[in-house]
Structure 1
Amino acid sequence: MSDEQDPDREDDMSPTATNPSEGEEADGAGAEHRPDTEDDEDDDLEALDGDGFDRVVAQARAQAAEPADEGEYDPELDGELDPNRGERPYTVEEAGIRSKVGWGRSPIVSAAVVVVGLFLLAATWSDFRYFLRSLQSEPRDLGLVSDIYVDGEFVERYDNTWVVLEGDPDVQHAARMQGREGWIGFMRLIEADASLFVAIPRATQNVDNEFPGRFEGRMRRIDEVPQWEKLQTFFNAEELIDIVDLEPAAVVAAVAGGTNKAALAGGGEVELGANDRLRVVVAQSAAMVQLGRTTWPTREAADQIIGVLGKPWAFVEKRDTVWVYAVELGSSGGANANVELYQQLTRALNNGEDLASADPKVGGLVLPRRATYLLDFKDLTASGAELSFTYGDNTAGTGWQVDPSTQQLEPVALRDGRLTVPTADIVAVRTERPLAADPDGYLLMVDQHPRDVWPSAVMFGAVFGVVLLNGWALAAALRRRRDQLADA
């Protein structure tokens, strides 16, 4: 049954007739218009057989090795890679730089060489700087240590300078170390506390510690020398101390005012700690008289001659060579006494002669008497014109005073274990300041001439040249990389 609405459907569903002649004609027509690709590929493969393959490879290599024309620029290749090179061609300027600095070196290698070179330059810089001092005709004369070290610091920097300097070495605290060329002695110069040391070459380990006090050589920061840690350990173990003179009146005023700041005798100010040890020097009003036991063999004879002075006296002790007495001088003694007074009293004992003999057993001698007391700053108290402190373990005499009731000279008695002295008789107050080796100080390397460090100077120059070349190569490589990224 057919569908009336679709009359063509029946024809479409009928079997399709095939005509062999028509099919062959169609195939023939297709063959005439189809490209002969299979034959071309076969021809190319046949061309590579035998010597053909080698010839093609040689042509490709020759084409790749053919240099581009100098200065040639193709706008069509701008921003693209050169098909012959795999990259854009070098310009004339780039080709010249590449031939000079070895542009082919890896930037990583250049960077590593620069970093290592900078460390070597830093290590040899001080020697190179001192080597330049060889241009000087003579060392710089710094004078005395006190001229360059003022108020606890140096007036200027002296790193790697060739100098000559005068100072007093502390021979009691000297260190010895063995160096590459022999023994070296290390001592501090007293005027600079523990901030200036000298290194003196020694022929042997044991030599006499006798030095002229004038030193010539190289000034270096002490913490830069190889022996610094050993020197610091040694001198700190020595427990070095410095005696600082204070103004007695300033100390009394500080105690009375309840402060801990006192003026220094040489100028400036110091802050005292509660446990700081002080040395208080007192000029006692009583003089010390020594009577030779050859001239006055008995105590009675000595008592008789001491009476000619007409002043209160007291027997102190008997020694092997002399009799010792104390004679009160009153207001004429103590800090106000002068040398002429003691000479007059001495002449009275020796029948008008200043000194009867160099032998202490012969004649008499009148001397001022001073006592030094050790105490803590916190233990001082001031009241009016007197200063009081705990006597403690002191061995110096307490002094003498006239007993109003007997008019006899008697030792000053302690009151509750404390000694009271007139502030007018205090002639000096000193404090002990501990010293530690200063890492910012200097070491004067005696007899080291600027020319002695020439090997380090040569190394510095060679390393500097290598660093400069590798830095140039690294910069060129980075610029080339930047240009490649810009052209991409």
Structure 2
Amino acid sequence: MSDPKDPEREDGPAAAPMSDAPAADLGADLGGETEVDEDFDDDLDIDAAVAQATADRPFTQEEAGLRTRVGWGRSPIVAGAVIIIGLFLLVKTWSDFVYFLRVFQGEPRDLGRVTDIYDAGEFSESFDNEWVHIEGDPDVQHAARMQSREGWIGFMRLIESDAAVLVAVPRETQTANNEFPGEFTGRMRRLDATPHWEKLQIFFTAEGIIDTIDLQPASVIESVAAEPGQAIAAKTTSDGEATVGPGEQVRIVARRSYGIAQLGRDTWKTQADAEAAIAATGLPWAFMEKRAMVWAFAVEVGPDAEVEVFQRLTRALNGGDDLVGADPKKGALVLPRRTTYIVDAGDLQLTPKGLTFSYGNNQAETGWQVSGEGSAATLVANELDKGRLAVPVAEIEGIRLERALEINPKGYLISSDQHPKDTWPSAVMFIAVLGVVGLNGWALVANLRRREDNEPTAA
């Protein structure tokens, strides 16, 4: 049996014998004329053949990519993603771009003092993202400090605006002095739109700043008489308006019709000696207390007594001298008397005796009133009526509202020394991104139009 791999294997089909016929004359065939069917173009349409060959075959990955780049332009997915990211960047840089355009103003807008644009808790107009110059007194006692990439920044509120206008002033060091000229120039933005808003809110809440509003006593009394127990709508001493809720506390300051006479214990050794000296004035009086260095008496001087009344009494007790010396244990001194009471606004009531309220935990004396007539007249302490104290309307000198300040998110922060030209990087970015978004938007629209044109129409 022979090896199948043997080249000389005999089994299998016989090899074709070498032909003895003469070789074909290729040169003659190539050089001669070749007959071509004149109807070749009619019998074979090349374009149709290619289309038929590829009709049922999907594009390869390379062909699809080439078709996308050549036929459709930029991929619609990429263009859409670029547009979305670009719109986000445009929104982020829009305010900086607008502020950059303020450079064409030439100079900042002069707003005058804070009180010219802010009154009774309201701004006269919107000043968002403006380049301004403003005057105001900064509250250096409640200043916040934050560190930035360029250094330290000090944040202060302008006192006349409560907590509605703050200024940010660059500082070289954390311990820089707090002396400011009271004039600030820079960029004015809404507080809640600044990157410092949350930290400033936490700081001023922790500081517990108290805003003091002085109300006109007559206006408060009129409101209480009209609607007792309700919110008080009153005018302020600066001719503004304020609304005091029933649960808010007010401080009532009464200038009493009596003064306090202090008689030094070195000059008057006993209480009896001091009482004899007070009785010699011929005015109603009452002994108050024995203090470490003086005897204290209440002496009736009448409502709204002038300074001369107290000076005259002081001279009478000192034998004609204004003051015996700096030592309070020697000689006498007569001073006006004021008492202060903290009460709930909704607890105020108006009666024939005056403005009444629950005495509660107040520490000031209830006051003194004249009892009797002529030389027998004396001062007796006011008594509470069912826990309520009455203060004569004529003796009420002031009513003060003390309200915790809350930073106003719709207020403004003035970034001192920030010029419009300082925001040029954001302006350049805005223009560049706007161009990129525009080009991709054009490419996306062109792509959609091509697709519409290439869609087959219904027969």
What TM-score bracket applies, with the shorter chain setting the length? 0.7 to 0.9
Correspondence list, 1:310-325, <5 A: 310-317=282-289, 323-325=295-297
Hey, what's the Cα distance between the residues in 1 that align with 2:321 and 2:184? 47
Aligned-pair CA distance for 1:481: 3.6
1:417 paired with 2:387, answer yes
| Distance change in 2, residues 1:388/1:160 (3 Å) | same
Aligned to 1:288: 260
Residue deviations 1:289-342, cap 9 Å, x none? 345677x46457655654554322334445566554322013xx2xx3334444
Hey, what's the Cα distance between the residues in 2 that align with 1:411 and 1:223? 54
Hey, what's the Cα distance between the residues in 1 that align with 2:329 and 2:131? 56
Aligned-pair CA distance for 1:396: 1.7
* Letter of the structure 2 residue corresponding to residue 421 of structure 1: V
Q: Percent identity?
A: 57
Aligned-pair CA distance for 1:169: 2.3
| Distance change in 2, residues 1:176/1:316 (3 Å) | same
Given that residues 308 and 348 in structure 1 are in contact (C-alpha distance below 8 angstroms), is that contact kept between their aligned partners in structure 2? no
| Distance change in 2, residues 1:115/1:278 (3 Å) | same
Aligned-pair CA distance for 1:381: 2.6
Hey, what's the Cα distance between the residues in 1 that align with 2:324 and 2:422? 62
Aligned-pair CA distance for 1:146: 1.0
Given that residues 246 and 262 in structure 1 are in contact (C-alpha distance below 8 angstroms), is that contact kept between their aligned partners in structure 2? no
Hey, what's the Cα distance between the residues in 2 that align with 1:359 and 1:131? 67
Selected match of 1:248 from 191, 211, 217? 217
Number of residue-to-residue matches in the alignment: 390
* Letter of the structure 1 residue corresponding to residue 142 of structure 2: H
Aligned to 2:126: 157
Aligned-pair CA distance for 1:125: 1.3
* Letter of the structure 2 residue corresponding to residue 384 of structure 1: P
Aligned-pair CA distance for 1:133: 2.1
SS, match of residue 112 in structure 2? strand
Selected match of 1:263 from 222, 234, 247? 234
Aligned-pair CA distance for 1:353: 6.5
Hey, what's the Cα distance between the residues in 2 that align with 1:457 and 1:187? 29
SS, match of residue 140 in structure 2? coil
| Distance change in 2, residues 1:467/1:360 (3 Å) | farther
Aligned-pair CA distance for 1:103: 7.1
Given that residues 110 and 471 in structure 1 are in contact (C-alpha distance below 8 angstroms), is that contact kept between their aligned partners in structure 2? yes
* Letter of the structure 2 residue corresponding to residue 179 of structure 1: S
Aligned-pair CA distance for 1:419: 1.5
| Distance change in 2, residues 1:268/1:447 (3 Å) | closer
SS, match of residue 249 in structure 1? helix
Aligned to 2:77: 108
Aligned-pair CA distance for 1:395: 1.6
1:439 paired with 2:409, answer yes
Correspondence list, 1:165-314, <5 A: 165-257=134-226, 258=228, 259-265=230-236, 266-267=238-239, 269-291=241-263, 296=267, 298=269, 303=275, 306-307=278-279, 309-314=281-286
Aligned to 1:76: none
Selected match of 1:396 from 364, 374, 384? 364
In the alignment, structure 2 segments of 5+ residues that lack a partner are 1-35, 41-45, 51-68
Given that residues 247 and 262 in structure 1 are in contact (C-alpha distance below 8 angstroms), is that contact kept between their aligned partners in structure 2? no
Hey, what's the Cα distance between the residues in 2 that align with 1:363 and 1:450? 68
Given that residues 132 and 450 in structure 1 are in contact (C-alpha distance below 8 angstroms), is that contact kept between their aligned partners in structure 2? yes
Residue deviations 1:425-447, cap 9 Å, x none? 11222223333222111111122
In the alignment, structure 1 segments of 5+ residues that lack a partner are 1-42, 48-55, 61-97
Aligned to 1:92: none
Hey, what's the Cα distance between the residues in 2 that align with 1:376 and 1:260? 11
* Letter of the structure 1 residue corresponding to residue 417 of structure 2: D
| Distance change in 2, residues 1:215/1:480 (3 Å) | same
SS, match of residue 206 in structure 1? coil
Residue deviations 1:32-73, cap 9 Å, x none? xxxxxxxxxxx99xx9xxxxxxxx99xx9xxxxxxxxxxxxx
Given that residues 186 and 199 in structure 1 are in contact (C-alpha distance below 8 angstroms), is that contact kept between their aligned partners in structure 2? yes
Hey, what's the Cα distance between the residues in 1 that align with 2:177 and 2:130? 28
Given that residues 385 and 424 in structure 1 are in contact (C-alpha distance below 8 angstroms), is that contact kept between their aligned partners in structure 2? no
Given that residues 261 and 269 in structure 1 are in contact (C-alpha distance below 8 angstroms), is that contact kept between their aligned partners in structure 2? no
Hey, what's the Cα distance between the residues in 2 that align with 1:208 and 1:395? 40
SS, match of residue 184 in structure 1? strand
1:408 paired with 2:378, answer yes
* Letter of the structure 2 residue corresponding to residue 262 of structure 1: A
Residue deviations 1:190-212, cap 9 Å, x none? 22122111222222223443333
Aligned to 2:28: none
Hey, what's the Cα distance between the residues in 2 that align with 1:231 and 1:118? 30
Point out the structure with the larger helix share: 1
The structure with the larger Rg is 1
Hey, what's the Cα distance between the residues in 2 that align with 1:138 and 1:305? 72
SS, match of residue 477 in structure 1? helix
Hey, what's the Cα distance between the residues in 1 that align with 2:264 and 2:426? 70
* TM-score (normalised: structure 2): 0.74
Aligned to 2:446: 476
SS, match of residue 195 in structure 2? coil
| Distance change in 2, residues 1:144/1:302 (3 Å) | farther
Given that residues 224 and 232 in structure 2 are in contact (C-alpha distance below 8 angstroms), is that contact kept between their aligned partners in structure 1? no
Residue deviations 1:125-160, cap 9 Å, x none? 111222222233332221211111112111111112
Hey, what's the Cα distance between the residues in 2 that align with 1:353 and 1:468? 91
Hey, what's the Cα distance between the residues in 1 that align with 2:301 and 2:194? 59
1:372 paired with 2:340, answer yes
| Distance change in 2, residues 1:352/1:468 (3 Å) | farther
